[in-house]
Amino acid sequence: MTEDDGGDGNPSALPAVGEAVRDTARDRVGRVMGHEGPYLQVRPLGGGREWDADPRHVRTLSQGELLSALLAEANARSRQRTR
């Protein structure tokens, strides 16, 4: 998915609820939790507070990007536990 057109030439194409995405405006990754008005509600992969994301600045993560983001989240959690 590209920032401009949803990746399929259709500007209105939105990622489905549950899809892992990158919000390029905030440089954050998360899962789509819903659609509200013109925005997507996105929650961090490890849980936490949702944020509104402009669909024009959101793209679906590849499998490799998702695995990398999940690993980074797991590493961050493990560092917090050892302090």
Domains of the chain, earliest start first: 1-74 (2.30.30.140)
Look-up: residue for tokens 């954050």?
28
pLDDT tens, residue by residue, 18-56? 999 999 999 999 999 999 999 999 999 989 999 999 999
Structural tokens at position 39: 């925005």
Instruction: Pick left, alpha or beta for residue 36 (phi over 0 → left; psi -120 to 50 → alpha; otherwise beta).
Output: beta
Question: The pTM is what?
Answer: 0.77
- Kindly give the residue spans of alpha helices, DSSP state H, lying in 1-83: 63-81
Mean pLDDT of the chain: 87
Per-residue pLDDT at 82: 65
Per-residue pLDDT at 7: 46
Distances (CA, A) of 71 to 4, 29, 60, 65, 75: 28, 12, 17, 10, 6
